[in-house]
Amino acid sequence: EIVLTQSPGTLSLSPGERATLSCRASQSVSSSALAWYQQKPGQAPRLLISGASTRATGIPDRFSGSGSGTDFTLTISRLEPEDFAVFYCQQYGTSPYTFGQGTKLEIK
Amino acid sequence: QLQLVESGGGVVQPGRSLRLSCAASGFTFTKYSFHWVRQAPGKGLEWVAVISSDGRTKYFADSVRGRFTISRDDSQNTLYLQMNSLRAEDTAVYYCAGQIATGYWGQGTLVTVSS
């Protein structure tokens, strides 16, 4: 099983700042099959990025994904108030399709 | 309008069974694989199972393998999760989701396993 470790656990930033979230895999993720999700309380997760770097439909271009192999990054270039939430990475290249434990992005 | 709507959740005793359904509309159901993902109260996301677009390939998380079954009825545009031998640790909101890159997710159905 591929274990995904997200860091930091909690990130405290202000609107307008840049956020950098990390997702590290215990072994190489096949074909860059790495997705990022945002989840707000009481809501289903929302897909932000798939294929490590492809933005989903309707996702603002301040969200970007990068990385390959075992190291992946989600960057939010300039935080808006609605961006604060919990973020998860998921690898879907090798079953079981595991999730990271999440990074909580909170308002400083 | 694109929709995935889960149903079938509820309170069930340990050891009993439950079947979840996920009704799809607004897109071509047969084109995609589908997943079940769960989230225990206050916890993170846990992937549960996937079924291929042709229904022939299925994978499961270690925590549910041998107890849960995933299936699909393309004539009804519906995905199922049959859950047997339920345990307290299966308590969670269960989401159905389309093939990863689609971003299609339902709103979830709560399953509570308790005596």
Return mean pLDDT, chain B: 97
- CB contact B45 to A (< 8 Å): yes
pLDDT tens digits, A80-98? 999 999 999 999 999 999 9
pLDDT at residue number B9:
97
Q: In a 3-state reduction of DSSP, which class is residue B63? A: coil
Could you tell me what percent of chain A has a pLDDT over 70?
Answer: 100
Helix (H, G, I), strand (E, B) or coil at A103: strand
Please name the member of B44, B60, B103 whose beta carbon is closest to the beta carbon of A56: B103
> Does B57 touch chain A if contact means CB atoms closer than 8 Å?
no
Query: Which of B6, B36, B43, B47 to mutate to probe the A interface, most A CBs <10 Å?
Result: B47
As a whole number of angstroms, the distance between CA B23 and CA B7 comes to 8
Q: Does the distance separating the beta carbons of A56 and B100 come in below 8 Å? A: no
pLDDT at B93 over 90: yes
**Mean pLDDT over the full length of chain A:** 97
Least CA distance to A33: which residue of chain B? B100
Q: What is the dihedral sign for C-alpha A74, A80, A84, A86?
A: negative
Query: Which amino acid type is present at position A53?
Result: S
Given this model, what pLDDT does residue A96 score? Answer: 96
Q: Which of B88, B94, B91 is nearest to B108 (CA)?
A: B94
Question: Using one digit for the tens of pLDDT, what is the confidence trace for B21-75?
Answer: 999 999 999 999 999 999 999 999 999 999 999 999 999 999 999 999 999 999 9
Question: Do residues B82 and B69 make contact, with C-beta atoms less than 8 angstroms apart?
Answer: yes
The pLDDT of residue A64: 98
Residue type, B99: Q
pLDDT tens-digit profile of A38-80? Answer: 999 999 999 999 999 999 999 999 999 999 999 999 999 999 9
Q: Does B105 touch chain A (CB under 8 A)?
A: yes
Of A46, A51, A98, the CB nearest to B47: A98
pLDDT in the model for residue B16: 98
pLDDT score, position A31: 84
Give me the mean pLDDT over the B76-89 stretch.
98
Q: Does B62 touch chain A (CB under 8 A)?
A: yes
Are A96 and B59 in contact (CB < 8 Å)? yes
B20 confidence band (pLDDT: 50, 70, 90): very high
Q: What is the pLDDT of residue B1?
A: 83
